Structure 1
């Protein structure tokens, strides 16, 4: 179980590292801003719907009020005409309509309160969204600037590494050159001392042999001369 837990932890750590490299804070900020705008639009839509409903109820109330006024006039006319029965009927209808108007008044009051709450919420949310938008753009600009600086520094770092490699290569070339010079000087010295034959000289093998013979003849002649002088 311990091994599996460690493997799981390592995998999660690597996945988080990969996700961190892939994540662009600017995209995340833009996405959050879009979500806030959607929420703000929903609140505004709610305000519009509540306002529309309230206006519809107010129009309905106005029509009922016209009917109430008409029934009230009809009741008065019926009384003048000694038609109490018609006046009673008109008043009964008027009473029913008045009850409806009172119900509409309560609904209109409730919708008005809801409208005020939504309008206040919309204003607060609009302010927050605008503040977020300003802050978002500032952070994005700072991130872009930092990203550009990192790329510049990485470029300089790459150049420095390349120059370091070039410097090492130059040092190796200089060392090899010095070694070759030292070897050449050593060979020259050995050739001058006779330890090594100068294969690059102008004399060939025949010339060297003839030179030896000439030298030997000269020695023999000198030796014979000395013997003669000595009477031997």
Structure 2
């Protein structure tokens, strides 16, 4: 299974967990970014190992090719000296090194494909990782907004309009009751003042009447 496919499975599993368990979206995204970072570390390590193997194979091929060339030159020297038997032995050694070089060359081609694919996948993952880090806060805000909106819808759908109206009516009744009490208190204070002044005025009338009787 490829690196990117594995990463996709991890991210999908995390988002499913967010939906099913209502986890903190910030923790989910932080974990996703951390997993992507770990994937990058593992992929870079794998790429480094693949390149190291590739370079090692190239060195072996170069050594075998050099040995092949060396035994070819020895075969020529043997022929020049008129020693055909020795020349044949040298050519057999040359052929052995050539076969080993050819076998490693086939392996090297496969290694080159692996290295090329790893480099391509690494660039793709690096781009995704950079994008995820840059947009993490935006994703968190969007997830929180979506969850808040869903919560509001749930609360709104559960509201009982009749009970709401009843509450409003009770509040209005209470306000009217308080206003009525205030008006009654004000009227009571006014009546009391009126009675006091009326009593004073009656006393003043009596005093005036007595004064007239005394004068006459």
Q: What is the TM-score of this pair, normalised by structure 1?
A: 0.54
Q: Secondary structure at the match of 2:100?
A: helix
Gaps of 5+ in 1: 1-15, 148-167, 194-232
Give the 3 Å change call, closer, same or farther, for CA 146–95 of structure 1 in structure 2: closer
- Which residue is equivalent to 1:39? 39
Q: Hey, what's the Cα distance between the residues in 2 that align with 1:75 and 1:87? A: 4
Q: Hey, what's the Cα distance between the residues in 1 that align with 2:137 and 2:197? A: 82
- Which residue is equivalent to 2:72? 72
CA RMSD of aligned residues (A): 4.0
- Which residue is equivalent to 1:162? none
Q: Hey, what's the Cα distance between the residues in 1 that align with 2:129 and 2:189? A: 81
After superposition, give the CA deviation of every residue in 1:158-194 in whole Å (9 maximum; x if it has no partner).
xxxxxxxxxx99987665454444455667789999x
- Which residue is equivalent to 1:133? 133
Q: Hey, what's the Cα distance between the residues in 2 that align with 1:111 and 1:104? A: 10
- Which residue is equivalent to 2:85? 85
Does the 8 Å contact 2:25/2:144 carry over to 1?
no
After superposition, give the CA deviation of every residue in 1:14-39 in whole Å (9 maximum; x if it has no partner).
xx99x53xx33222222212212222
Q: Secondary structure at the match of 2:127?
A: helix
Gaps of 5+ in 2: 1-17, 148-172, 199-216
Give the 3 Å change call, closer, same or farther, for CA 192–131 of structure 1 in structure 2: closer
User: How far 1:142 sits from its partner (Å)?
Assistant: 6.0
- Which residue is equivalent to 1:120? 120
Pairs within 5 Å for 1:170-181: 175-181=180-186
Aligned residues: 158
After superposition, give the CA deviation of every residue in 1:93-112 in whole Å (9 maximum; x if it has no partner).
11111110000100111101
